[in-house]
Amino acid sequence: MEFIILLIVVVAVLVLPLKMAAAMMGARNTGAFYCLFALLLAVMIQRFVGGMIPGVTEQYGMLITIPLAAIAYMLVLGTGFLKAIAIAIVQGLLLIGLTLVLGSVLAAI
């Protein structure tokens, strides 16, 4: 039971910032399942490209990650590439903020 609750919380923490960012930037498809599929596609693209480019440092990896995630967001969420880059950046900022808030709430319990 705890595993199911943990899985729901993790999926919500990952999907909610993307859903909010897509809605803010005016994407055509902003449903929860569209966002979940966009995240899964972004991870698959990043793993595939990451396997082709060995030895990428953390700083360069972030520069590669944003455009690759933007390609997945562009395809699934129905937006342009520049808006998809903005969605990826806003989603990252919202994810950091939501994680900090969730961590502080759990630490207070």
53 vs 108, more confident: 108
12 closest CA partner among 32, 30, 37, 40: 32
pLDDT at 109: 83
CA distance 86 to 104: 27
**What is the rounded average pLDDT for all residues in the chain?**
88
pTM of the model: 0.85
pLDDT at residue 72 is higher than 90? yes
Q: H-type helices in 1-109, by residue range? A: 2-25, 32-52, 58-77, 81-108
- CA atoms lying within 13 Å on the CB side of residue 108: 6
Indicate whether 58 pLDDT > 90. Answer: no
